[in-house]
Structure formats: structure tokens, C-alpha cells
């Protein structure tokens, strides 16, 4: 049986996922408008930065993982290839490690902040890491 807090947690995670995906799409549109298709490295850095910032801000770790995967798929499908093609040239997949690494750094910063806030006895500004 689910408790009320479980339902609230699941609802918050769903909204975090939706907000994160909207931010990823917006970042991809900005990167596509600013950088030419040949500037794959710059587009990758925009997506990695977005994934890192979102990993720091999203409260639920499941939403963080899903948004990072979504950012990877958007990069490969729409920024490296065209028209959402994920199975074409495999070379962009090797670049996506930067997106995952940025998300790990962002999540690590969130964890360090939570540990420091707990040790200091001060309440965090947002909900604790899960």
C-alpha cells in the first residue's frame, strides 16, 4: 500500500522529469540556432552543461537519470544526426560520455551540499537528496 508521501514524491519526480525535458529541448534549440552543425563540440558542451545543471537542481535521482538519458538522445538524434536518427553513424555516441560525466558532477555537488548542510545542522533550501 502506498502512503501519501510516496504519492507526493512520485508526483514531484514526474514534474521534475517534465521540467527537465523542457529545459533540454530549449537548450537544444538554442544550441542549434547559435552553433552550426559542424560545431559538434560546442553543441555537446551546451547539452553537457544543461545536464550538469539539471542534475544539481532536480531533487529526484530518477528524474535526473531520465533527463540525462533524454539529453543524450536529443544530442545524438537531433544535433549530431538529423531527423532523430539514433542508429546512423556511431561516432557521436562516444562523445556522449561528457553528458553523463557532467550529470555525475552535478549530482555530486548536490550530494556534497546535502552532507555539509546536514553536518552544519542547517536546513537545505530544497528537499534532501534521495
Domain membership of residue 6 (yes or no) is: yes
pLDDT at 2 over 80: no
- pLDDT tens digits, 27-40: 999 999 999 999 99
Domain membership of residue 63 (yes or no) is: yes
Structural domain boundaries, residue 75: 2-83+92-111
Radius of gyration of the chain (CA): 16
Quick one: cell of 118? Answer: 546536514
DSSP class per residue in 48-81: HHHHHHHHHH-S-HHHHHHHHHHHHHHIIIIIIS
Distance CA 68, CA 47 (A): 9
How confident is the prediction for the chain on average, in pLDDT? 87
Domain membership of residue 129 (yes or no) is: no
Domain membership of residue 41 (yes or no) is: yes
Domain membership of residue 127 (yes or no) is: no
pLDDT of residue 88: 79
Domain membership of residue 56 (yes or no) is: yes
How many structural domains compose the chain? Answer: 1
CB of 99 closer than 8 Å to CB of 48? yes
Domain membership of residue 68 (yes or no) is: yes
- pLDDT tens digits, 48-102: 999 999 999 999 999 999 999 999 999 999 999 877 888 878 889 999 999 999 9
Amino acid at each position: 500500500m502506498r502512503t501519501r508521501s510516496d504519492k507526493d514524491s512520485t508526483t514531484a519526480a514526474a514534474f521534475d522529469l517534465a521540467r527537465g525535458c523542457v529545459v533540454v529541448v530549449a537548450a537544444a534549440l538554442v544550441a542549434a540556432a547559435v552553433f552550426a552543425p559542424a560545431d559538434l563540440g560546442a553543441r555537446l558542451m551546451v547539452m553537457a552543461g544543461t545536464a550538469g545543471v539539471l542534475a544539481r537542481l532536480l531533487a529526484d535521482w530518477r528524474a535526473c537519470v531520465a533527463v540525462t538519458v533524454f539529453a543524450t538522445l536529443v544530442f545524438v538524434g537531433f544535433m549530431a544526426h538529423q531527423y532523430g536518427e539514433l542508429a546512423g553513424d556511431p561516432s557521436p555516441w562516444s562523445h556522449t560520455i561528457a553528458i553523463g560525466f557532467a550529470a555525475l558532477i552535478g549530482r555530486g555537488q548536490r550530494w556534497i551540499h546535502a552532507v555539509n548542510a546536514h553536518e552544519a545542522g542547517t536546513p537545505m533550501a530544497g528537499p534532501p537528496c534521495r
